[in-house]
């Protein structure tokens, strides 16, 4: 049975150094793509990453962009101990919908969907929506 590949992305192993300004690892995007290539061909893969423009378009059947209200995001990231600059940049990224726009230009717009990510109840609703989409996809493609 064929299974779909799904990309989950939104404002927040293989890395290529450490970014002192943002206090986080720098991802080696080429290595990630090389490592995932064969697995993606098999199908049934869910990729969860805060960016999406370096993944090949052919990999995904659907893209979900998680979006969070700015006040919720600020508090969430503050509790994680993000530096002021990293916190401000992440909130600004959400304000300007950078990741949504990135997804819309990197993939066919009809496969890009927004999901709210503010409260725990939305997590359950989002999971239900993703499961329903997977079930439909399986029916239509097998």
Give how far Cα 109 sits from Cα of 43, 101, 104, Å: 21, 10, 5
Specify the CATH architecture of the domain 6-141.
3-Layer(aba) Sandwich (3.40)
For residue 17, what is the DSSP state? Answer: E
Give how far Cα 133 sits from Cα of 123, 126, 137, Å: 15, 11, 6
| Residue 141 pLDDT > 60 | yes
pLDDT, tens digit, 9 for 90 and up, residues 70-99 = 999 999 999 999 889 888 998 999 999 999
The token pair at 95 is 């304000």
C-alpha radius of gyration, the chain, whole number? 16
pLDDT, tens digit, 9 for 90 and up, residues 13-31 = 465 677 788 777 777 889 9
């Amino acid at each position: 049975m064929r299974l779909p590949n799904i990309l989950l992305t939104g404002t927040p192993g293989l890395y290529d150094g450490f970014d002192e300004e943002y206090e986080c690892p720098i991802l080696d995007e080429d290595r990630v793509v090389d490592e995932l290539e064969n697995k993606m061909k098999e199908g049934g893969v869910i990729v969860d990453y805060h960016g999406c423009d370096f993944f090949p378009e052919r990999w995904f059947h659907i893209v979900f962009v998680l979006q969070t209200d700015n006040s919720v995001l600020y508090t969430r990231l503050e509790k994680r101990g993000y530096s002021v600059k990293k916190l401000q940049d992440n909130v600004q990224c959400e304000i300007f919908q950078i990741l949504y726009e990135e997804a819309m230009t990197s993939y066919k717009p009809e496969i890009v969907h927004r999901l709210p990510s503010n409260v725990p109840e939305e997590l359950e609703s989002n999971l239900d929506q993703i499961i329903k989409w997977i079930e439909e996809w399986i029916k239509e493609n097998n």
